[in-house]
Structure 1
Amino acid sequence: MDTQPRYTLGDRQDDGRYPVTVDNTTEAGYVYRRHGSWYGVMPGQTEARRPDRFQAAYHLVRLIDAGHRPAEKAGLRLTSAARDLLISPHLRLTAPNIVRASEATARLAELGWRPLTGYPGADQSWRMACLLGCGWKGTRFWSHLRGRNGDNTPRPMCRHRGCIPQSQHADRIAAVATQAPDCTCEFKHVTTVVEAITYLPLALSAEANGWYSTAVHLARLLGPCPAASVRAKALRTALDDIL
Structure 2
Amino acid sequence: MTVLTFQAINYPSAGHCCFRRRKNLRNRTVRCRIAEASGKPAPMGQKTKYKDGLFGKVFMTLFARKMEQFAGGDKKQTEGWLEYDYEKFVQVSKRVMEGRTRVQQQHVVREVLLSMLPPGAPAQFRKLFPPTKWAAEFNAAITVPFFEWLVGPSEVIEVEVNGVKQKSGVLIKKCRYLENTGCVGMCINMCKIPTQDFFTNDFGLPLTMTPNFEDMSCEMVYGQAPPPFEDDPASKQPCLADFCSVASPRSSFCPKLEA
TM-score interval, smaller chain:
under 0.3
Normalized per residue, the structure richer in helix is 2
- Rg comparison, structure with higher value: 2
Normalising by structure 1, we get a TM-score of 0.26
